[in-house]
Structure 1
Amino acid sequence: MRWKISHSHDPRQIDLLAILVLIVVIVAAWRYFGDRPEPQNPTAFIVPSQSVRW
């Protein structure tokens, strides 16, 4: 038995809209988790102090 959300919309339109929303969510998650920038080298931020004598 189909859901009866509204009498003016065809249930196939609602199914198509749900499929499109799922595709958009999957693509957005793939782009978010797939395009992470590389972590920067933490040693690049170390600035030697000028008061230290070796």
Structure 2
Amino acid sequence: MRATEVLAEPLAEVTAILLTVPIVELYALLWRAGVLEVELPASKRRPAEVPALRPAG
């Protein structure tokens, strides 16, 4: 028995467990189909603060 099971509502927990996999699969399908677009958050550092990478040697 997990510690969270004592406070969790049984119906909500079962529903969440049953829907987790289909929701993740639906998200992946929509992403591959181009319906969803994933963007990384912009860097908060100014371009001058970003170190330039130089080849070793």
Higher relative contact order (CA 8 A, sep 6+): 1
TM-score by length of 2: 0.37
TM-score (norm 1): 0.38
Q: Which structure has the greater CA radius of gyration?
A: 1
